[in-house]
């Protein structure tokens, strides 16, 4: 399944962020909020929608805030 970027690539979040919250689609078709823990050299994948998250910069890509 594609992630929120629509490209299959991981969504990059701030390097100092240890946790991300995934809610799926930004409309009513999302899923319950799940919190995923990132380590410095990992990619985590949401078990509901398949979105992938990794550390990096938002330059040229998407980023999500922990919530």
Q: What backbone torsions phi and psi does residue 61 show, to the nearest 5 degrees?
A: -145, -160
Is residue 44 one of the residues assigned to a domain? Answer: yes
Can you give the three-state secondary structure of the chain, one letter per residue?
Answer: CCCCCCCCCCEEECCCCCEEEECCCCCCCCCCCEEEECCCCCEEECCCCCCEEEECCCCCCCCCCCC
Residue span of the structural domain in which 35 resides = 11-55
Residues 19-63 pLDDT 10s = 999 998 766 778 899 999 998 778 999 999 999 999 875 444 444
Give the number of domains in the chain.
1
Is residue 6 one of the residues assigned to a domain? Answer: no
Q: Global pTM?
A: 0.67
Does residue 1 have a pLDDT over 80? no
Distances (CA, A) of 4 to 25, 33, 45: 7, 14, 11
């Amino acid at each position: 399944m594609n992630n929120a970027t629509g490209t299959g690539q991981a969504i990059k979040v701030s390097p100092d962020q240890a946790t991300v919250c995934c809610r799926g689609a930004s409309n009513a078709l999302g899923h319950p909020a799940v919190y995923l823990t990132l380590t410095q050299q990992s990619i985590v994948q949401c078990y509901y929608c398949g979105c992938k998250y990794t550390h990096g910069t938002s330059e040229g890509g998407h980023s999500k805030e922990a919530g």
